[in-house]
């Protein structure tokens, strides 16, 4: 059995307390030195997206989806398209949380085209330039980084 020893000053206990504290200061200083926060001011800025300072490109994809989400009615199916397959996959994954009241049908999944799925979607959220086959679709809304189209519009 053991009994705890509680000391508040003098001897080894105080020395250990200071060693831990000095170690903590060293770690914190090293952490601040290596920090990804670009400036102190940036730490206090309210970000426009959850990814502003994590990934600029992913932040732009997020912003596009936030602009596009109101253009797709609740319950409607949609797909996402982008020139870059990685962007397309990222858009699809992000859209599942943003357009959670709609039905997502990916045009590709991990870089593999899934036309059986994506071609069934009524709305197409295009990041960047639209593909020619959307020429017949109705432009619902143009946003800064892309556009939303509706297929088979009456």
Partner 1 sequence: MILSAAQFLLGQLSLVALGAGAAFHPSVRSLGFAARAAAAAGAGAVALTLEATLFSIAGIPWTIPGLALPLLLLSIFCASRWLRRPAPARAPIRLSRGIAVGSATVCALSLSYLALSFTSSSATSVDFLFFWGVKAVRFAEVRGFDAGLLRNPFFIHAVPDYPPLVPVVEAWGCLAAGKMPWRAVPAASALWAAAAVPLLFERFRRRLGDGAAAGLAAFWTAALSVSLAHSYSGGNAEAPLLFFESTGLAWLLTEEDPRESRFFPSLVLCGAALAKVEGFVAVVLLAAGSLLKERGPLAVRARRSLALVAWPGVCVGLWFSYQASRSLAVGYRPHGQLFGLFPQHLGRILPAVLQNLNAGSLWLPWLFAILWLAARLPAWRDAAPALVLSVGLLAFLVFDYMHDTGDPTERIGWTAPRVTQPALSAAVLAAAATSSRRKRKVEPAVTASKAVA
Footprint on this chain of partner 1 (rule: CB under 8 A): 1-9, 12-14, 16-21, 23-28, 30-37, 42-47, 49-55, 58-59, 62, 89, 92-94, 96-97, 100-101, 104-106, 109-110, 114, 117
> What is the closest distance, in whole angstroms, from the C-beta atom of residue 89 to partner 1 in the complex?
8
State how far the Cα of 153 lies from the Cα of 40, in Å rounded to an integer: 50
108: left (phi over 0), alpha (psi -120 to 50) or beta: beta
Cα angle, residue 103 at apex, residues 70 and 152 outer, rounded to 5°? 75
User: Which lies closer to partner 1 via its Cβ, residue 13 or residue 129?
Assistant: 13
> What is the closest distance, in whole angstroms, from the C-beta atom of residue 100 to partner 1 in the complex?
5
Phi, psi of 43 (to 5 degrees): -70, -25
User: Which lies closer to partner 1 via its Cβ, residue 30 or residue 139?
Assistant: 30
User: Which lies closer to partner 1 via its Cβ, residue 34 or residue 154?
Assistant: 34
Find residue 27's DSSP bridge partners.
Answer: none
């Amino acid at each position: 059995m053991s009994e705890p020893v509680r000391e508040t000053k003098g001897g080894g206990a105080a020395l250990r307390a200071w060693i831990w504290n000095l170690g903590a200061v060293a770690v914190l200083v090293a952490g601040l030195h290596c920090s990804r926060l670009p400036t102190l001011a940036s730490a206090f800025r309210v970000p426009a997206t959850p990814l502003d300072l994590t990934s600029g490109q992913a932040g732009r994809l997020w912003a596009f989806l936030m602009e596009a989400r109101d253009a797709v009615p609740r319950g409607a199916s949609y797909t996402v398209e982008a020139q870059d397959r990685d962007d397309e996959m990222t858009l699809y994954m992000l859209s599942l949380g943003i357009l959670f009241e709609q039905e997502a049908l990916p045009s590709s999944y991990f870089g593999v085209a899934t036309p059986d799925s994506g071609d069934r979607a009524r709305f197409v959220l295009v990041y960047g330039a639209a593909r020619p086959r959307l020429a017949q679709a109705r432009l619902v809304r143009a946003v800064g980084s892309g556009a939303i189209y509706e297929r088979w519009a009456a």
